[in-house]
Amino acid sequence: MSSKPLHLIRTGFARSFWVANVLELFERLAFYGSKAVLAVYLVEKVGLGRTGSTLVGLYGFAVFFLPTLAGPLVDRYGFRRSLITCFSIFSLGYFAIGLAGLPMGQGFVASVGTTPYIIGALLLTAIGGSLIKPCVVGTVAWTSTPETKSLGYSIYYTLVNLGGALGPVLALQVREGLGIEYVLVMSAVTSVLNLLGTFLFFREPERADPGEAPRTLGQVIRDMGLVFRNLRFMGFLVIFSGFWIMFWQIFYGLPFYVRDVLHYPRFELIETVDAWAIILLTVPVTALMKKVRPILAMSSGFALASLGWLLIGAIPTLSATVAGIAIFAVGEAMQAPRFYEYVADLAPRDQVGTYMGFAFLPVAIGALVAGYLSGFLVETFLKQSHRPSLMWFTLAGIGGVSTVLMLLYDRFVAPQKP
């Protein structure tokens, strides 16, 4: 007798699956809508300069590192309670960030100090973000059958990218119609709507073994220590973070370049090219790369993504920039699915969950480094020396080095299968 609920056996997906994925769509819309303008907002509207770029990187690091620690809390308190907490924190966090640019918040922000206030608001928002992924991914796992689980994750990944594509478009309309600070208010309002949706429609999924004891935070930290001692695996993750250093420049450095060099003020539209391309290309590109070894597929994706930045640096036009980001997206589609496959294959059987949690570490490292790097690149090559092409040649160089390191890792360090 299957331990899955009867309605799940009949349809393949439970109601909570669809509710969770719709919530994720709007959460990503709010996240990437705010992300599209956050660097410009903090650097110029809030007046933090290069410090703003660094703080954007710190925020990205926290958003993608904290889910590793949040998993046991979600297991202990349940998906519904965690989602309610997540969207409550998101609502406060996004509004707190936007308050720094609103006239009504100037006095309060000044009394706290702009930099410490923004750090607090960003970290608050990141804490909310740490809860969403374990909730939604966990719901997909518990509300699909073994036969439909692959399709379930495909639906989840597609909606994540759809939110990433629609968010900046909506942010553009708000920025042009009301002002850049209201994009953060928009994200706060979207989070409030998600909170109401959770209250009204989301029901806790039935678990196959309700009596199974959830992992404690202490157990998670102990397992993390074991992973950190696996120097071969950690080296792989550090090398892989080179890709994400390149990726985050789409949101950190590219808006300044598109607006100030290409004189195209609607930079949010250019930021959506990667997401739309990923939606269209992931399935066919994954099929083409199916028989290629994971390390070789990842290395090829790195190399192609680097060529995208070379094209943007060599030809300073809007059409070349769009083409370069599309090429970058093809490289992303080549390596992303194989990366998760490789991590799962490397993990010991009793630590697959922990290792997959660490799959977000390169994203976090990339965001942290990219934030600081974008401030340096924009200040040095865009504003001081007026040689913007060097911004993108630098990124292509990072991608080239990462490609070579990945191949060297494969040759001399990676565990070899018989």
CATH number, domain containing residue 258: 1.20.1250.20
Domain limits at 345? Answer: 215-418
pLDDT band at 272 (very low <50, low <70, confident <90, very high): very high
pLDDT above 90 for 111: yes
pLDDT value of residue 212: 55
- Average pLDDT on 329-336 reads 91
Split into its structural domains, the chain has a count of 2
Mean pLDDT of the residues in the chain: 89
pLDDT above 90 for 63: yes
Among residues 194, 176, 181, 162, which one has the least CA distance to residue 34?
A: 181
**Does residue 332 fall inside a structural domain?**
yes
* Same domain? 147 vs 59: yes
**Does residue 323 fall inside a structural domain?**
yes
The 10s digit of each residue's pLDDT in 379-392 is 999 999 999 999 99
Q: Give 141's DSSP letter.
A: H
* Same domain? 118 vs 171: yes
pLDDT value of residue 72: 73
| Helices 231-247 and 318-346: angle between axes, nearest 10 degrees | 160
* Same domain? 230 vs 195: no
* Same domain? 79 vs 131: yes
* Same domain? 173 vs 313: no
Going 225 to 229 to 230 to 236, the CA torsion angle's sign is positive
The 10s digit of each residue's pLDDT in 159-174 is 888 999 999 999 999 9
pLDDT value of residue 224: 78
What b-and-e string marks burial along 249-268, b requiring 16 or more CB atoms within 10 Å of the CB?
bbbbbbbbbbeeebeeeebb
Per DSSP, helices labelled H in 205-317 are: 217-228, 231-247, 249-252, 254-260, 267-271, 273-288, 294-314
pLDDT value of residue 54: 95
* Same domain? 129 vs 238: no
**Does residue 3 fall inside a structural domain?**
no
pLDDT band at 370 (very low <50, low <70, confident <90, very high): very high
- Average pLDDT on 110-116 reads 95
Tell which of 149, 183, 205 closes a domain. 205
pLDDT value of residue 338: 85
**Does residue 398 fall inside a structural domain?**
yes
pLDDT above 50 for 156: yes
* Same domain? 188 vs 258: no
pLDDT above 70 for 207: no
* Same domain? 309 vs 257: yes
pLDDT band at 418 (very low <50, low <70, confident <90, very high): very low
**Does residue 210 fall inside a structural domain?**
no
- % of the chain with per-residue pLDDT over 70: 92
pLDDT above 80 for 354: no
- Average pLDDT on 230-250 reads 95
Q: How far is CA 244 from the centre of its chain?
A: 9
* Same domain? 171 vs 253: no
* Same domain? 238 vs 190: no
**Does residue 4 fall inside a structural domain?**
no
Tokens, residue 183: 């994009």
**Does residue 6 fall inside a structural domain?**
no
Cβ-Cβ contacts under 8 Å for 138 (sequence gap 6 or more): 74, 75, 79
pLDDT value of residue 1: 38
- % of the chain with per-residue pLDDT over 90: 65
**Does residue 2 fall inside a structural domain?**
no
* Same domain? 227 vs 273: yes
Tell which of 145, 177, 205 closes a domain. 205
pLDDT value of residue 90: 97
Distance CA 127, CA 30 (A): 15
- 5 vs 259, more confident: 259
pLDDT value of residue 4: 47
- 213 vs 336, more confident: 336
Tell which of 180, 205, 230 closes a domain. 205
pLDDT value of residue 7: 45
* Same domain? 152 vs 226: no
- Average pLDDT on 342-359 reads 75
Tokens, residue 412: 């001399």
pLDDT value of residue 13: 77
- 239 vs 129, more confident: 239
- Average pLDDT on 48-71 reads 91
